Amino acid sequence: MYTAWTVKHKPKSAAEIIGNPSAIKTLSDWLDSWNKGTPKKRAAFLYGPPGVGKTVTVEALAHDLHMELVEKNASDYRTEDAINRFAGLASQYASLFGGKRIVLLDELDGLMGNADKGGVKAITNIAKTARCPVVLIANNAYDPRFRTLRSYCLLIEFKKPHSSSVAKHLTRICEREGIQADENALKFIAQRSGGDVRSAVNDLQALAQGKKRLTYDDVSWLAYRDRQESIFNVLKMIIYGRTSYGAKQAVDMADVDIDMLFEWIYENAPAHLTDPHDLAQAMDALSMADVYRGRIRASQDWSFMRYVIDYMTAGVAMARQNSKVHGWIPFKFPSRIMMLSRSKAERALRLRIGLKIKRKCHISAARASKEVLPYLRIIFKNDVHMAAGIAKWLDLDAEMVEYIVGNKAKAETITAFLH
Amino acid sequence: MSFEMWAEKYRPKQLSDMVDQKTIVERLKSFVKSKNVPHCIFAGPPGTGKTTAALCLTRDLYGDGYREHLMELNASDERGINVVRETVKTFARSRSIGEIPFKILILDEADNMTSDAQQALRRTMERYTETCRFIMCANYSGKIIEPIQSRCAPFRFTFLPREEHDNHIKHIAERENIQLLPDGAEAIFEVCGGDLRRAINTLQAAASMNKPVDAKLVYSVTGKASPHDVQKMLTTAINGDFLGARKQLRDMIQKYGVAGIDIIRQIHTEIFRAEIPEPWKIKLAAITGEIDYRLVEGADEEVQLSALLARLVEAGGEINKAN
């Protein structure tokens, strides 16, 4: 199982956090003020875009100030009852244990509409009456639902850190992971992330894990993505899609063409489908998408593209019935594409040999390299005379002979016979 | 030194050299006699003599100078519409000099042409019938569009029966001074299933080992000719490791250039030997057939075959549940 680097390399102390020094200081001072009695505002409301370090800051400060952190994700505690139970546990009786405790309610944005009616009210109550520091976190503190709540809170804004700070953070991770990374590669990832440190670290892990060295070439394909929506998000929408419509929508957000998106799904869907039946369904959907691609090629009728999209998005999304995914599985760049480009030179050589065979054997170059070449390989390895004769007959050059026999010394004995 | 590929060396030169596909050869001989040839479709599996028959027919028609009256195109290499528009048209419309007023165009692997190219071809065939006759060789005549089929005389080639296959192989072995043991010939037939090109290539590769050709040698040669292990891949899949099995598949296709159609045939054979519950075998055979058909339709080999692997993973999961 993978350990997410966002967890593994999470800053332990506030000093290690990149960006937002004044916000961290404000929060730290406010936490400190609880030592001199209950401050005017009993709750702090941290807000800002995703991945800039709001939660990490609270965790690191709790560590630095030796406070116990009681952390709950608001979207798991949605109803008034549940929040009250939690509040009772965490804040009312906190003083009994000396007040060295922080209550953290994360992801307030997760509270939604009528279903969570009362949830915000219950949180407001906690903020009013808390006897230990309560920290609330949301992306948008100015959501109308939080209007009353806001007035009881110390508002602290977190901003996106500069990309050079993000790059510095990535450098530190690479050092710890023993990866030799090119500076411009890390800069590139940092810039792409748009200040979202978490996504930058996730990207870094997806690109660099298991490597000794990370070059600019390894990351430059990221340029293709996320002008509209990162490919990772698109994949999430498809592979974890709940509705056909949602999964199909993802195509419009992808910044890659359909064929490339197909490769991304084909590469990544299997690892996220643990149930064999789900996997078989998803692969069958991809197979059908591919059949329609073939039909488009054969008929040149591009209106069939809609079925390709149906199968590769909704078809894959709806395959998920019983699969559960434990832990974090990174999305990977389609390895088939990498392999294809790597073996390009080899395929070109094989095709040239195929063309030579075609001239003599009335068979297409493509089929020759598949059907005749393997036999040539055996002959060339075993019978130098026959090999030389065939090489002459087919008019193969030294490079071709060497490729077929797969051994330089042997190739030389064969070509020696030619002269 | 006069070595060449035996499949070429022993390719029949004239229709009278062709010992098999008898009814077809008889009809072709009658074309030669009347010095008239209709447009033809030669359909049938690989290695059954389609191209050979077309070449023999041409040679019998024109004699030694037959090359001047013949064009051979391979649709797998030149499948686009431009080839039809330019190469084919230029050849088809120029008049032939000599006794026979038309030329022959052999279009090999014609089922690999796009339907656009086929449409264009249909017009060319019609317009230049006077000056050019087409012989289309294809594995599946179903992939040739109806209008072309209706303009052509169809010929169905079938795999060689065991006896004729053995005669061929033994004849070559004799001429090349190869010691071919009876179980060797049998093994070649089993592995190549009547595909004579493959059979001869197998024999030649076995002969290069400089040993009497017996079954063991044949199997080791065909094992090396496809340096992959379909069985191992299936085991990986049945044990639930889809990603591992897909990696093996990818290597077969990309690194070793094994044809998807060969892999699926081996999978089909292996399914009935594999240790999976009996009811699953026929289920998987049905799925294999479906995937085979999708491949014929021109889909991506790795994607299709990995869909089949996923089914094997599923079958493997059922087995574990049962135990």
- C-beta atoms of B225 and A378 within 8 A: yes
State the pLDDT at residue B2: 58
CA dihedral sign, ordered B186, B192, B194, B198:
negative
Nearest by CB: B307 against A287, A350, A373: A287
CA angle B197, B199, B202 (to 5 degrees): 110
Nearest by CB: B258 against A370, A392, A417: A370
Please indicate whether residue A74 or residue B13 has the higher confidence score (pLDDT): B13
- C-beta atoms of B208 and A417 within 8 A: no
CB neighbours of residue B311 within 10 Å: 25
- C-beta atoms of A378 and B8 within 8 A: no
- C-beta atoms of A270 and B116 within 8 A: no
DSSP A318: T
B242-267: string of b/e by CB count within 10 Å (b at 16+)?
A: beebbebbbebbbeebbbbebbbebb
Q: Does residue B131 carry a pLDDT above 60? A: yes
Question: Mutate which of B107, B109, B140, B201 to disrupt the A interface (most A C-beta within 10 Å)?
Answer: B201
Please indicate whether residue B142 or residue B156 has the higher confidence score (pLDDT): B156
The model carries a pTM of 0.54
Grade residue B226 by pLDDT with cuts at 50, 70 and 90.
low
Please indicate whether residue A228 or residue B128 has the higher confidence score (pLDDT): B128
The Cα of A213 is separated from the nearest Cα of chain B by a number of Å equal to 23
Q: Does residue A221 carry a pLDDT above 50? A: yes
Dihedrals φ, ψ of B142, to 5°?
-60, -20
Q: Does residue B247 carry a pLDDT above 50? A: yes
State the pLDDT at residue A1: 45
Nearest by CB: A375 against B202, B250, B314: B202
Q: Does residue A326 carry a pLDDT above 70? A: no
Helices (H), B63-138: 81-83, 89-93, 115-127
Question: Mutate which of B11, B72, B208, B262 to disrupt the A interface (most A C-beta within 10 Å)?
Answer: B208
Compute the mean pLDDT over every residue in chain B, rounded to the nearest whole number. Answer: 87
Grade residue A414 by pLDDT with cuts at 50, 70 and 90.
confident
State the pLDDT at residue A203: 84
Q: Does residue A211 carry a pLDDT above 70? A: yes
- C-beta atoms of B298 and A294 within 8 A: yes
Cβ contacts of B207 on chain A, cutoff 8 Å = 383, 386
State the pLDDT at residue B6: 94
For the segment A35-53, the average pLDDT, to the nearest whole number, is 89
For the segment B220-240, the average pLDDT, to the nearest whole number, is 79
Please indicate whether residue A336 or residue B50 has the higher confidence score (pLDDT): B50
Nearest by CB: B205 against A284, A358, A378: A378
The Cα of B146 is separated from the nearest Cα of chain A by a number of Å equal to 14
Q: Does residue A225 carry a pLDDT above 50? A: no
Cβ contacts of B258 on chain A, cutoff 8 Å = 370
The Cα of B236 is separated from the nearest Cα of chain A by a number of Å equal to 14
- C-beta atoms of A375 and B225 within 8 A: yes
State the pLDDT at residue A199: 84
Nearest by CB: A364 against B76, B256, B316: B76
DSSP B87: I
Cβ contacts of B291 on chain A, cutoff 8 Å = 287
For the segment A362-376, the average pLDDT, to the nearest whole number, is 85
Of the candidates A46, A51, A57, the one whose C-alpha atom is nearest the C-alpha of residue A11 is A57
